[in-house]
Amino acid sequence: MSHPPASGHDDDSLPSPPPVFHAEQALLGALLLDPHRLADLTGITTDSFSDPVHSAVFAALRTLPAPDPAEHAQNAHWLDRVLTTATRQVRGLMAPYLHTLIQVCPWPRHAPAYARMVEAEHARRRLRVATEHFLTTARDASLPHPVDAVLTEADTLAALVDDIATRFPPRAGVLPRTPPSVAVSAPASEALGEERVLLATAADHPAEIDSVRWLLPEDFTVPLHAGLWQCLTALARRQEPVDPVTILWEAQQRGLLRGTEPGEILQFLTGPQVSVTHWAERALQRSLLATAEHTGRRIKAYTEDPATTPFQLVAGARRSFADLSAIRVRWHHATAPAPPRQPRPKPATRAGPPTTTTARTARTSR
């Protein structure tokens, strides 16, 4: 949004511009006063500016050759050319605003510092936009291969974080503040039903539990189901009998029956059985997508805090990716095709004693 001075009109009803707006003004004012300072700036482009008027002015500054310093000090011909060039890209820009930019610049020699501020805010905006796209993908239930799409977007987002880290190397000991807690949405009834089918199938076929060791209790949507999975895996690990009654007893020993009727647990533990591996993969996929959404919401919370520096953005984003990276490894382990079985090599044949039949035959013929 352009600030009113860019068009030459004041409007007290508009909100006060953020600090980066003043940094952009100071930078452009420094370049209008001393155009040769543009050569000292690296990493900043027209997209770095939050205001379209400022972006147009900067584009004009980059397009036009720098004027002769002596001539520039005597007249405003070069400023007129800047104005003409910039107005081709944006409307509402008038000559008084260029003079305003010059007047509000405290020190032209501080142009690199102003540019750094502009670039820092641009990094925040880039990360916020990329995170919103990542969240949209994680929430899109219509995708044919949602996990592949989410992991691809995660790689894109991680590459952006690496690029920001290159421009703003993290400082030792600079950690982001803890973002506000992210609310957890209620699980869908479909998820609850699938998890109960998984628990019932595992209760009827405990020997298959070992094949899905990549599924963890935190992959379940409700604590009760997570606790029952722990009961199942514990009984199977101890090689004790596994059936709905033994699971119910183990659940009581673990304090899982508070507020839950035992009959309800027995009912869904004796439900239909299909395939432990199939429903375990479904549960893990749902957990991965939920983890991706939680990761995106945490990173977005960092970008929405104006006090978070680029160094802290990088540190916070990388810490937020930790859980997604961990479950990603488990997903690949669960879905990777089994390696082909190599045929067992034939045992090596030991050499026998030398054959002497021919020699004996020769002696006999004499």
The ranges assigned to domains in the chain are 4-106, 119-169+287-335, 189-274
Tokens 């996990």 correspond to: 147
Say which CATH superfamily domain 189-274 falls into: DNAb Helicase; Chain A (1.10.860.10)
% of the chain exceeding 70 in pLDDT:
83
pLDDT of residue 78: 87
In the structure, what pLDDT confidence band is assigned to residue 81 with cuts at 50, 70 and 90?
very high
Candidate ranges 7-16, 17-26, 183-192; pick with highest mean pLDDT: 17-26
% of the chain exceeding 90 in pLDDT:
63
Of the candidate ranges 74-88, 168-182, 195-209, 276-290, the one whose mean pLDDT is the lowest: 168-182
In the structure, what pLDDT confidence band is assigned to residue 124 with cuts at 50, 70 and 90?
very high
- Domain 4-106 and domain 189-274, same fold? Reply is yes
Which fold does the domain 4-106 belong to in CATH? DNAb Helicase; Chain A (1.10.860)
Taking CA atoms, 296 is separated from 35, 57, 135, 214, 330, in Å, by 41, 34, 6, 23, 20
Q: What is the pLDDT of residues 296-350, one digit of tens each?
A: 999 999 999 988 889 999 989 999 999 999 999 999 999 987 666 666 666 665 5
Segment 269-293 mean pLDDT: 90
- Residue 259 gets the label, from left (phi > 0), alpha (psi -120 to 50) or beta, of left
pLDDT at position 364 over 60: no
pTM metric for this prediction: 0.80
